């Protein structure tokens, strides 16, 4: 049987002030950080976890993040390195729907879209403070046109592309591929763990922990829906890594990212 492979899909970079990246830590000055997605080539399908940002949308809505992205650093560009077409992606999983995690979803037109039930709700009916973060609706432009009482999970959403599958709690979505609830950054945030044949499990934090430095300082970033919950999720990731003897892969960590292997290299 075919073995699972994991590829890191480089998506370019953005920059923010350290006072945002390390909340109340007294740090200042711009810090540039990477954005990336993860392709899991698995016997049960081709899964992508997070799809980076759309350059045009990001320049338009949050130019202060100074986005940098070449055509190769897009979902089609990265998949092309692997001779995979976006239409061959069977599932797109989003840790959450912030613009730097779902910008490439729209390219995977045949995929089922998986997220936490509460995340889909938060994205459909964003709070005022979350509207900018949730502003890239390009992968499901009609989603917000649905009336609020349209019961999620009723199947009625399936008339739209993409098809949504919502989850709650920890889940094994394919053999050896786990989603762990790490709430707080947003209402329905998931981190991902993949077990592989020839190395320690890979635990992708997504925005429940931006970087090794955040973890070392137990210091969260700004812009979370619930700060206490975000801290608890950071601790949860630490505990999960220990429990499963997993390697942590941080979402926005320039120093760590320099040592990660990127596509076309495969972790196996
Ligand atoms: Zn985020």
| pLDDT (average), residues 73-90 | 98
Cα separation of 261 and 257, whole Å?
8
Q: What is the pLDDT of residues 171-217, one digit of tens each?
A: 999 999 999 999 999 999 999 999 999 999 999 999 999 999 999 99
Q: What is the pLDDT of residues 84-115, one digit of tens each?
A: 999 999 999 999 999 999 999 999 989 999 99
| pLDDT (average), residues 114-120 | 96
Domains and CATH numbers, the chain: 5-257 (3.60.15.10)
Active site residue 245: no
Choose among 106, 129, 2: nearest CA to 48. Answer: 106
| Distance of CA 252 from the midpoint of ligand 1 (Å) | 10
What is the DSSP secondary-structure string of 55-75?
HHHHHHH-GGG--B--GGGSH
Average pLDDT, the chain: 94
Say what the pLDDT of residue 148 is. 62
Residue 83 above 60 pLDDT?
yes
Say what the pLDDT of residue 142 is. 82
| Distance of CA 207 from the midpoint of ligand 1 (Å) | 5
| Distance of CA 98 from the midpoint of ligand 1 (Å) | 5
Q: How far apart are the first and last CA of the chain?
A: 14
Say what the pLDDT of residue 70 is. 98
Say what the pLDDT of residue 149 is. 55
Sheet holding 171-174, edge to edge: 171-174, 177-181, 190-194, 202-206, 247-250
Cα separation of 49 and 31, whole Å?
24
**79: confidence class by pLDDT, cuts 50, 70, 90:** very high
In the set 100, 136, 207, 253, the catalytic residue is: 100
Residue 251 above 60 pLDDT?
yes
| Distance of CA 17 from the midpoint of ligand 1 (Å) | 15
Strand 163-167 to 171-174 pairing: unpaired
Question: Which tokens belong to 18?
Answer: 């350290």
Say what the pLDDT of residue 45 is. 97
Q: What is the pLDDT of residues 145-174, one digit of tens each?
A: 776 655 454 445 544 556 899 999 999 999
Q: What is the pLDDT of residues 55-69, one digit of tens each?
A: 999 999 999 999 999
Say what the pLDDT of residue 163 is. 86
SS3 230: helix
| Distance of CA 189 from the midpoint of ligand 1 (Å) | 9
| Distance of CA 212 from the midpoint of ligand 1 (Å) | 16
Cα separation of 229 and 127, whole Å?
18
Check if the beta carbon of residue 200 is closer than 8 Å to that of residue 246: yes
Say what the pLDDT of residue 14 is. 98
Cα separation of 218 and 208, whole Å?
11
| Distance of CA 84 from the midpoint of ligand 1 (Å) | 27
Q: Does the bond joining 162 to the residue before it have cis omega, within 30 degrees of 0?
A: yes
Q: What is the pLDDT of residues 9-35, one digit of tens each?
A: 999 999 999 999 999 999 999 999 999
Spatial CB neighbours of 230, under 8 Å, sequence gap ≥ 6: 184, 185, 208, 220, 224
- How far is residue 150 from each of residues 72, 116, 121, 144, 187, measured CA to CA in Å? 39, 17, 11, 11, 19
Say what the pLDDT of residue 158 is. 47
């Amino acid at each position: 049987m075919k073995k699972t492979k994991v590829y890191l899909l480089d998506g370019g970079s953005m920059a923010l002030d350290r006072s945002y990246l390390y909340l109340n830590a007294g740090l200042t000055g711009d810090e540039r950080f990477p954005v990336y997605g993860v392709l899991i080539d698995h016997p049960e399908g081709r899964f992508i976890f997070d799809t980076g940002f759309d350059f045009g949308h990001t320049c338009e809505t949050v130019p202060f993040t100074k986005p940098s992205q070449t055509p190769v650093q897009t979902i089609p560009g990265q998949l092309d390195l692997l001779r995979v077409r976006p239409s061959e992606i069977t599932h797109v999983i989003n840790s959450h729907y912030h613009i730097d995690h779902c910008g490439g979803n729209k390219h995977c037109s045949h995929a089922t879209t998986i997220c936490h039930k509460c995340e889909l709700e938060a994205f459909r009916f964003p709070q005022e403070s979350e509207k900018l973060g949730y502003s890239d609706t390009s992968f499901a432009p009609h989603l917000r046109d649905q009336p609020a009482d349209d019961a999620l999970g009723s199947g009625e959403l399936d008339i739209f592309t993409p098809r949504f599958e919502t989850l709650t709690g920890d889940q094994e979505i394919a053999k050896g591929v786990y989603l762990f609830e790490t709430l707080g950054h947003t209402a329905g945030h998931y981190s991902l763990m993949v077990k592989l044949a020839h190395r320690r499990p890979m635990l992708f934090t997504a925005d429940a922990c931006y970087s090794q430095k955040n973890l070392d300082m137990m210091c969260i970033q700004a812009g979370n829906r619930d700060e206490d919950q975000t801290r608890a999720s950071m601790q949860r990731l630490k505990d999960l890594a220990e429990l499963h003897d997993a390697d942590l892969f941080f979402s926005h960590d320039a120093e760590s990212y320099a040592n990660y292997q990127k596509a076309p290299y495969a972790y196996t």
